[in-house]
Amino acid sequence: MVLHNISLELGEGEFTYLIGKTGSGKSSLLKTIYAALPLVSGFGEVAGYDLRTVNRRNIHLLRRKLGIVFQDFNLLSDRSVEENLMFVLRATEWKDTMAMKKRIVEVLSEVGLSGKLNAMPHELSGGEQQRVVIARALLNKPPLILADEPTGNLDPETSDDVLLLLRNLARQHNTTVLCATHDYRILQNFPARIIRVQQGKLVDE
């Protein structure tokens, strides 16, 4: 489904749900925002970057401004929690090892995983792995976090914990969060602005 004639503006520090049927275009919208899909026409600005001019040479600068939380945790299974986070910092051109270690300790503390620095992904529960993913998204203090079905692989209680964590982090850091979900129980438990993707359009509910 191609999205067309859409308009979306997210305010600073705003938490917004993105909902819609499977195949409606939720993931396509998120991929366009983080420039995995090209903006074919119109205008789009994300974290100060014009999506029409993002290319292979500067896409890393845009991605540094975004935190991305996937349903499938995408952690490196052969590396510890610290090494997973260190990998991201190096990829986003951090150079100072002491500063990197300090930042990793900070984000793990924020997501409640201070004691898990040396743990391997397989030693963590699903909820803990998703907290590592959120910590990874926070590393560069992004103004925008995109969460694509962040609770899709979690049980209801763990889902609530992860959602509450995202909501609190958005509030604490004045970070904008766009959260794609099909879990309507979460919408009821944690009300916020809802954008529905329907027949190629966005409906603000």
Q: Which residues are registered as beta bridge partners of 197?
A: 202
User: Which SS3 state, helix, strand or coil, does residue 162 take?
Assistant: helix
User: Which SS3 state, helix, strand or coil, does residue 142 take?
Assistant: coil
Domains and CATH numbers, the chain: 15-204 (3.40.50.300)
pLDDT tens sequence across 61-100: 898 899 999 878 889 999 999 999 999 999 888 999 999 9
Contact present, 193 and 17 (Cβ < 8 Å): yes
Q: How far apart are CA 133 and CA 138, in angstroms?
A: 9
Q: How far apart are CA 8 and CA 104, in angstroms?
A: 33
pLDDT tens sequence across 142-191: 999 999 989 888 899 999 998 999 999 889 999 999 999 988 899 999 99
Q: Which of 22, 14, 50 is nearest to 182 (CA)?
A: 22
pLDDT tens sequence across 108-144: 999 999 999 999 999 999 999 999 999 999 999 999 9
Provide CB contacts within 8 A for 117, sequence distance 6+.
80, 81, 82, 104, 105, 108
The token pair at 170 is: 């958005």
